[in-house]
Copies of this chain bind each other. A is one copy, B any other.
Amino acid sequence: MRALQIVEPMKCRVVEVPTPRPSRGEILVRMIASSICNQHELKCWRGEGYYWLRYPLPPGMPGHEGVGTVVERGEGVDKVDVGDVVALTGMGGPPLHAEYVVRREDAVVKVKCERVSPEYAAPLELYACVIAAIRKSGGVFGCRTVVSGLGPAGLVAVQVMRAAGAAHIVGIEPNPERRRKALECGADEVYHPESPEVERLKREGVEYVFEASGHPDSIRNSLKISRDKVVLFGYHEGEIPINTALWFQHDLTVYGSRALSGRGGGIENLRIAVDLYCRGAIDPSKLVTHRIR
């Protein structure tokens, strides 16, 4: 089968590798689509940020968001059938930028595609990570909220928070195109981080802020705007100046989330993402900018 291989930073090729076979409890999946996250995947592609990477990377890496069709079942598999469309994450098997992958049957979630297109199920892993963070922080039902940073994770957060019953969502982001996209995804208002509205938010406060960029200014703003909860979803390596007195002044609780491998994680979050997708409560197609075959 063919697989994508990053041979050195900023350079990849398609290579021929043996097609895997499912062992006991595993299934063989023919990939429909895999998507590219702009955190982990772009670091691998650019060769930045992970000192421990050795190039060429293994074929298929780092693919960890995807969807495919079950084409073969190993012994003892009884929860999925040949022909089922399943959503995949990086857990329970090899990386996803390949024609075929194997997975443990309990590491996938069936997607019922009566009303939705299978290919847009590829980025549901990112939704699952956002869902894990939101559930860890107690949910957003009825909350007045801010999403700071409206890249892919921020747009996903807007969609998920809308589906989870947030009462009001304000998006903050310098890029006007992304702000426009956030309105499409369900934000009620969007502002540039240097607008007077953001100063007002800092003075008046909201109860829930989801930080989705990892940018130091966005992290600092999030702590200043919240009067209760902050989720630090964006990732920033290295120290940044933080006023820890805000924890006392704003009575804060600040949540991190190790995505699907942490305390609030697990396949249950992908199950929820798939359920929301199949009923049309979230729309991953809004995140797709390019298609590569």
Residues of A with Cβ closer than 8 Å to B? 131, 134-136, 138-142, 163-165, 167-168, 188, 214, 219, 228, 232, 235-259, 262-263, 268-269, 271-272, 275-276, 279, 281
Contacts and interface: CB of A to CB of B under 8 A. Distances in A.
B237 A239 contact: no
Contact of A244 (B141, B219, B246): B219
A139 B143 CA distance: 12
Contacts of A252: 254-256
Given A139-B139, A251-B256, 14 more contacts: A135-B141, A136-B253, A214-B244, A219-B244, A232-B247, A237-B243, A237-B245, A240-B242, A241-B241, A247-B255, A248-B258, A252-B254, A253-B256, A254-B254
A286 to B, nearest CB: 18
28 contacts: A131-B142, A136-B253, A141-B164, A141-B165, A141-B272, A142-B164, A142-B268, A142-B269, A142-B271, A142-B272, A163-B165, A165-B276, A167-B271, A167-B279, A188-B279, A219-B244, A237-B245, A238-B243, A239-B242, A240-B243, A241-B241, A246-B256, A247-B254, A247-B255, A247-B257, A248-B257, A252-B254, A253-B256
Chain copies in complex: 4
Contacts of A240: 241-244
A255 B256 contact: no
Contacts of A165: 141, 163-165, 276, 281
A250 B242 CA distance: 18
B239 A275 contact: no
